[in-house]
Structure 1
Amino acid sequence: MQIPDVPAELLTALVQAAEGRRLALVGGAVRDLLLHHQHRDPWRGLPDLDLVVEGRALALVERLPALLPNGSSCAFREHGSFGTVEVELRLANGDTWLLDVASARQESYASPGENPQVSLGSLDDDLARRDFSVNAIALLLGTASDGVVLLDPHHGQQDLAARRLRLLHANSLVDDPTRLFRAARYAARLGFELDPSALEQARRVLQAWPWGWRPGSPPQPVPPALGTRLRMELELMLDREPWHEALDRLQAWGGLVLLDPGLQRNRRWPLALGRATRWGLPLLPVLIACADDPVALAQRLQVPHRHQRWLKGLVQLRRHAAALSPDQIRLWMAAQWTEWIEHQPDAEHVVPMALACGGVFRRPLLRWWLLWRHVQPATTAQDLLASGLRPGPAIGERLRQLRAERLQELECR
């Protein structure tokens, strides 16, 4: 088996830099190569390569520049805690390649959902720690006359042919529940189905909830796989995948409960995210806004602070809206609605999120967002000063009065 479009001189340099240690191409590149042969899709090339070497990845990378063709350049950055080195190569012909070179490792989980304890291991150990059988296939480089040998110890090729996602062991989701989100991403992108054994594992694990934290508890002790790693999976899903299908599958599997039980029950998130897409809103905070407790979920996922602030403002807007009585707002016109809306925190960001999610005074919020917020008084502060009004709070109050009058005039036209 050959690797299309990967320069022979690059593969040769990598094998020489390994100095006899087993070196393999792994991950999506191998999976996609095999899918190409099954479906006869045109080969689109490899923008980057994921490689695993037995021993220290950094040692291989440090030897690599001297083995590349003259005129090539190499820059790299090590992530020591995971034994991984990011490499950017510019070959003499001008082509640029991105490499992720990892030390073969084995993992153990001291507690469900926590970060794994990592130690150096063999290539077999490294394949066994992966999420799905279709991602546990490797091309061993430099060991045969044609340059590569296929390693498939977990029968991933059979699952590729059947278009199914099979977890590698019985504790896969206990150790790392983000694997269920990854399954939804792959299923949506590749058109695969979750293997029945994986579906049963998901049902059993979600029902047992084996992690040392439950919805409603403070967010501080949340395991990483229920916090930051879930956010990273969501960001990938919403930014790069067919998110509607992926989230729909997650909901069908019961997996949205990992985020929030209310979000699992919610059937309006497709409408909210569809509006957010059309209006150019960030999708993740809009999805979080559909949860029962958006603020707690945002804190648990450690989303950016500005998004947490917007979600707090949305919760406050909903609370203030629920406190208004029909008699109180029955006679409100543009000026009154504008004053109420603009007293809400972060209104310019909160209002479009409220409109996307629905359920809060849609008509006045929409009119404020499209029209009223842009209305300004014809008279400026400089005009008022020139007319003899002294500087101070009276200037601002008079401008507010003039703006309210102009809003009234527009509504009466």
Structure 2
Amino acid sequence: MEIPDVPKPLLEALTAAAAGQRCALVGGVVRDLLLHRHHEDPWRGLPDLDLVVEGRAADLVERFPEALRMVFAQPIPLQIQEHGSFGTLELELDLPEGQGGTWLLDIASARSERYPQPGENPLVSPGLLDEDLARRDFTVNSMALTLERGQLLDPHRGQQDLSARQLRFLHPNSVSDDPTRLVRAARYAARLGFDLAPDAFDQVRTTLASWPWRWRVGDDPGQAPPALGTRLRMELELLLSREPWPMALAALQRWGALAVLDSQLQADRHLQRRLHWAQRLQVPLLPALLAGASDPLALAERLQLPHRQHKLIAQMLDLDQRLQSQPAVQAPSAWCECLEAPGVSPESVALALAAGIGQRRPLIRWLFRWRHVRSPVSAQSLMLSEQLSPGPKLGDRIKFFRFSYLDEFE
């Protein structure tokens, strides 16, 4: 078995360590290898390798250091971390210079799963390799390549969907069980140039129309099931940070899938422009996405955004209220007074600008010019000439001269 970029001795060591256990490469490495070999896609590279083993993954990992030593004829530095209650192990190893560099391996025990309620975390139990493949998101990701013989396992006809460049869910309840699969579909669509298969599109449409989840928009945000809350946020973060997000978000809107977040976002014609502005202004993209929702703070709470991003949205909404009371035409000093008030940050002004809140020209001028202008009279000279000591009065005089300068020359 040969895989571009993957050192053959590394695969030999994995095969040796897996002796007595059925073990296979799964997921993106298999999909991308088939796309590269049979469909002339460019090789996208591999940040890591995902493996599934029948039985305890820890047993394989215990044998792996000795297998590495035998293959490479020297000890190989290896760091091991265990994740999750089911014992998925993440390995980081540094191969000898010129023989492969640093590699990340995720080795998981094969498992089966069932969903107690739509959108909840699945209940997981030990299983076989075929059962593990059956729990995955799309047919193109449900293939495996066994280590011992290099045999391709394709129980769900993933190769056929690769040829058609389409994404097909494995089960009729795939979206109902786990709506984060909608965002993953958009990620793959943008990265690989795929689209939903017709029956997958029908499943998206009918599932969202029936809304099978016990939680609904308008309910307590903190009660949303994980697949409509924290797990959905994590998938959105990956989409916005790792994928061609304009294409991914366009796919979600085309499928009607942004309704899983908010109906107003689904209908938002300015979504792409808002995020392009946010990127240009170096504002986090996820708050910029949520800024177009019917209730951005409720959606931020539901997704459990990091505190800093949640606060940024709150500041933007507060600034929106402030700006609505501002006269259309006023001096630079009045804009500075408004935009430099307590509770307003430059980042919140940038987010408001990206979201189309307020008057664009004065916000731009404040963000890039006015807030950086200093008083032409220094604090030291005022302390000497006006007998002032450090404190509020000195600060007021410095602000007076700064504002006077802005109003005269800007």
**Which range, TM-score by smaller chain?**
over 0.9
SS of residue in 2 equivalent to 1:402:
helix
Matched, 1:392 2:391: yes
Q: Which runs of 5+ in 1 are unaligned?
A: none
Counterpart AA for 1:383: S
Counterpart of 1:183 in structure 2 is 185
Which residue matches 2:381? 383
Alignment of 1:315-330 (within 5 A): 315-324=317-326, 329=327
For 2:80, which of 70, 76, 82 is the aligned residue?
A: 76
The corresponding residue for 2:25 is: 25
Alpha-carbon offset, residue 229 of structure 1: 1.1
Task: State the SS of the aligned residue for 1:148.
Answer: coil
| Preserved contact between residue 84 and residue 103 of structure 1 (Cα < 8 Å) | yes
| Equivalent residue number for residue 364 of structure 2 | 366
Q: 1:404, 1:46 → 2: CA distance? A: 55
Structure 1 position 310 matched with structure 2 position 328: no
- Name which of structure 1's ranges 133-142 and 86-95 shifts more when overlaid on structure 2: 86-95
Indicate the larger mover: 24-33 or 234-243: 234-243
Post-superposition shift, 1:275? 1.5
Q: Which residue of 1 aligns with 2:165?
A: 163
Counterpart Cα distance in 2 of 1:44 and 1:274: 25
Shift of the alpha carbon at 1:13? 2.0
Over 6 Å off, 4+ runs: none
Q: 1:404 to 1:257 in 2, by over 3 A?
A: same
TM-score by length of 2: 0.94
Deviation track 1:134-179 (CA, whole Å, cap 9, x = no partner) reads 000000111xxxx310100001001101111000001111111010
Deviation at 1:43, TM superposition (A): 4.2
State the match for 2:350 in structure 1.
352
Distance verdict in 2 for CA 1:374–1:91, change over 3 Å: closer
| Residues 27-36 or 215-224, more deviating | 215-224
Q: Is the 8 A contact 1:269 1:287 kept in 2?
A: yes
Alignment pair present for 1:87 and 2:91: yes
- Inter-partner Cα distance in structure 2 for 1:356 and 1:100: 39
**How far off its partner does 1:382 sit?**
2.3
- Number of corresponding residues: 403
Secondary structure class of the residue paired with 1:220 = helix
Structure 2 residue aligned with 1:106:
112
Flag structure 2 segments of 5+ consecutive residues without an equivalent: none
Change (3 A) 1:120 1:380: same
Q: CA deviation at 1:344?
A: 5.7
Aligned residue type for 2:3: I
1:21-75 deviation digits (Å, cap 9, x = unpaired): 1100000000001001222345465442110000111121111001112322221
Partner of 1:277: 279
Specify the alignment match of 2:220 in structure 1. Answer: 218
Offset from partner CA, 1:268-306 (integer Å, 9 cap, x none): 011111122223222111111121211111111122211
Distance in 1 between the 2:211 and 2:360 partners? 38
- Cα deviation for residue 7 of structure 1 reads 3.1
In structure 1, what is the equivalent of residue 232 of structure 2?
230
Contact 1:131 1:172 in 2 (8 A): yes
**Percent of aligned positions with the same letter in both sequences?**
56
CA contact (8 A) 1:85 1:100 kept: yes
If the length of structure 1 is used for normalisation, what is the TM-score?
0.93
- What amino acid does structure 2 have at the position aligned with 1:19? A
Aligned: 1:97 with 2:103: yes
Structure 1 partner of 2:407 = 408
Query: Equivalent residue for 2:155?
Result: 153
Matched with 1:339 is 337
| SS in structure 2 of the partner of residue 24 of structure 1 | strand
1: CA distance between counterparts of 2:171 and 2:56? 27
- Asked if structure 2 preserves the Cα contact closer than 8 Å seen for 1:70 and 1:92, the reply is no
Contact map agreement 2:322 2:338 (CA 8 A) in 1: no
Are the counterparts in 2 of residues 317 and 344 from structure 1 also a CA contact under 8 Å? no
Flag the 1:396–1:172 CA change in 2: closer, same or farther, 3 A: same
Quote the residue 2:291 is aligned against.
289
Write the deviation string for residues 339-368 of structure 1: whole angstroms up to 9, x where unpaired. 112126233111111111114121211121
Shift of 1:398: 1.4
CA separation of 1:391/1:31 partners in 2, compared to 1, >3 Å: closer, same or farther?
Answer: closer
Separation in 1, partners of 2:408, 2:390: 27
Distance 1:148 1:238 in 2: 35
How far apart, in 2, do the equivalents of 1:42 and 1:290 lie? 36
Q: 1:359 to 1:19 in 2, by over 3 A?
A: same
Pick the aligned partner of 2:146 from 135, 140, 151.
140
